[in-house]
Amino acid sequence: MLVLTRKENESIMIGDNIEVKILDVRENQVRVGVDAPREVTVHRKEIYLAIKKENIEAAAAARDAKDVEKIIGGT
């Protein structure tokens, strides 16, 4: 992993189009601004992983699901 030291309001460029800026540094929290082109998705990692996991579960459960119309009744 590349490790760089930055101060508040300093940035890192990733390639030509992605800027990661340190906005605010507090005791154990850092606010980071990401400026990226539209096709680059930016997520908090734990959220990204949780959503990916839930999507995979959705597809796996759907593969085995029977009588879906009965299960999701009333909708």
Partner 1 sequence: MKVETLRFGVVELAEKDVIEFTQPILGFADCTRFFRVEIAEKESVFWLQSVDKPEVAFIVMNPLQVLPDYEVRIVESDVADLHLEDEKEAEVLTLVVVPKDTAQVRTNLKAPIVFNPRLKLAKQVVLHESDYPIRYYLHGVPPKEEEVQEPTDAGSHAERK
- Give yes or no for residue 9 binding partner 1 (CB under 8 A): no
The residues, any chain, with a CB within 8 Å of residue 13's CB and separated by 6 or more, are: 19, 20
Map the footprint of partner 1 across residues 30-59, applying CB under 8 A.
Answer: 31-39, 41-44, 46-48, 50-59
CA distance 44 to 54: 15
CA distance 38 to 70: 40
- Give yes or no for residue 12 binding partner 1 (CB under 8 A): no
Footprint on this chain of partner 1 (rule: CB under 8 A): 17, 29, 31-39, 41-44, 46-48, 50-59, 61-65, 68-69, 71-72, 75
